[in-house]
Amino acid sequence: MTIAKGDKIPSTTFVTMTENGPDQVSSDEFFKGKKVALFSVPGAFTPTCSAKHLPGFIDKADELKAKGVDVIAGTAVNDAFVMGAWGKAAGADGKITLLADGNGDFAKAVGLEMDGSKFGMGTRGQRFSMIVNDGVVEELNVEAPGEFKVSSAEYLLEQL
């Protein structure tokens, strides 16, 4: 079942890259007591994700925060090393928290996984964005396959 507006984010574990290496963070702790703009991409370093999705959130970070967002986070079914390198390459440091969902546990728990096998990618997370307030989904925008419209930073800004 796909997560919906009004649902609580399920309990899973992400991994973030820190100066000291990978660090686990529970979704319960991450989303607790704050408003989070979360976006999901099928894969770090993939064309649309690197050329449009992550850069859009970097460019609009100040505007999102001015509208009450405490944290901007991106997730993908990639390991923490890949997510850390992707963030550095894009200049996301200090603006975007990248959450590695290496085994796809979060994507499965929210019902937004996809089969990327025909592209050699296996099971991944769909492209989507959401506003999560104190662990509860306030807005949810899931892209149609091959699209990049409703999960953009610009679209999310309009919803705030």
Q: Where are the beta strands (DSSP E) in 27-88?
A: 35-40, 71-76
Q: Among the options 3, 38, 49, 99, which is catalytic? A: 49
The pLDDT of residue 118 is 83
* Residues of the chain predicted below pLDDT 50: none
Burial 54-73, CB ≥16 within 10 A → b, else e: bebbbebbeebeebebebbb
pTM for this structure? Answer: 0.93
pLDDT tens, position by position, 77-109:
999 999 999 999 999 988 999 999 999 999 999
Query: Helix, strand, or coil here: 106?
Result: helix
Tell me the domains of the chain and their CATH numbers: 13-159 (3.40.30.10)
pLDDT tens, position by position, 131-140:
999 999 999 9
The pLDDT of residue 72 is 98
The pLDDT of residue 46 is 79
| DSSP label at residue 54 | H
The pLDDT of residue 92 is 93
CB 150 within 8 A of CB 131: no
Is 49 an annotated catalytic residue?
yes
The pLDDT of residue 116 is 77
